[in-house]
Chains A and B, each alone.
Chain A
Amino acid sequence: MVDIIFLGLAIFAIGGGFGMILFSQPMHSAISLIVTLISLGGIFALLSAPFLFMVQIILYAGAIITLLLFIIMFLNIRDDELPDEPNKNITIIIGAILLIPFNILILKAFNTFPEKSMNILGKDFGSIHSFGMELFNKWLVPFELISMLLLASLVGAVVYARKDKNRDG
């Protein structure tokens, strides 16, 4: 049963990824990416990370990609303004062939790990309570640094997006 769920989610994730790089309209690509992200959320749930499953759907699919969709609609791009990509398909095929040895190398490296059962853990592994204990005990300094990073990116976005009055001068 778990195998069937994993296989379905993996097929949806890979199909969404291929759709993302093959569609020419950015709107269709963004919707394919949402399919991929929600499938990955399901795989996080299979890996006993229920809190990350929630975060993936609420924050990734719900906030980041929605912001991206909002920007795509806001710019209102016409078909003739899209950049033409004459070498798209041939680059994808050649790149895929060149990436195969790299993938085989990584998989061989992981193949040396001893086999261990990966079934879903019960108890409170990955729940909000244990996640919060981990975050606020061992990872407090990175957590605070992230607040600084978010503040800096907020200021940076405002500086980028304001109208430049002194451009002509």
Chain B
Amino acid sequence: MADLLLSYIALAMILFSIGFLGIISRKNIFIVYMSIELMLNAVNLIFVALGRYNESMEPQVMAMIIIAIAAAEAAVFLSLIVVLYRNKKSLNSDIFNVLKQKDTANG
């Protein structure tokens, strides 16, 4: 089982699907963030599995770069959550609607 490429791909696809389900089903902004991290990790797993399959080091470097980008994302996203919670006292992702256009009768 651990010899097959397909088992690693299947695990990565399951994790990616779990992350996607978390994004579409939860309102809590922390869970949405964690689901994004899980999807990034699933993509990393596919990179590393294909790198081992082709005996190439380049996908591992790409996975490392994805981890660094995830760190940058974490800093911005978490400071955004802190500001949001300080101003609106809520963790609901539905309050991100300040840019939504209002439907008016005569445009």
Contact = CB atoms under 8 A, between A and B. Distances in A.
Interface of A: 2-3, 5-7, 10, 13-14, 17-18, 20-21, 24, 26, 29-30, 33, 36-37, 40, 43-44, 46-49, 51-52, 55-56, 59-60, 63-65, 67-68, 71-72, 74-75, 77, 81-85, 87-88, 91-92, 95-96, 99, 102-103, 106-107, 110-111, 113, 115-119, 121, 125-126, 130-131, 134-135, 138-139, 142-143, 146, 149-150, 152-154, 156-158, 160-161
Interface in B20-52: 20-22, 24-28, 30-31, 33-35, 37-38, 41, 44-45, 48-49, 51-52
B57 A21 contact: no
Contacts of A63: 71
Lowest 6 CB-CB distances: which A-B pairs, in order?
Answer: A83-B92, A21-B22, A153-B72, A91-B25, A6-B2, A17-B18
Interface of B: 1-11, 13-15, 17-22, 24-28, 30-31, 33-35, 37-38, 41, 44-45, 48-49, 51-53, 55, 57-58, 60-61, 63-65, 67-76, 78-83, 85, 89-94
Interface majority SS on A: helix, strand, loop or mixed?
helix
A33 B34 contact: yes
A17 B91 CA distance: 21
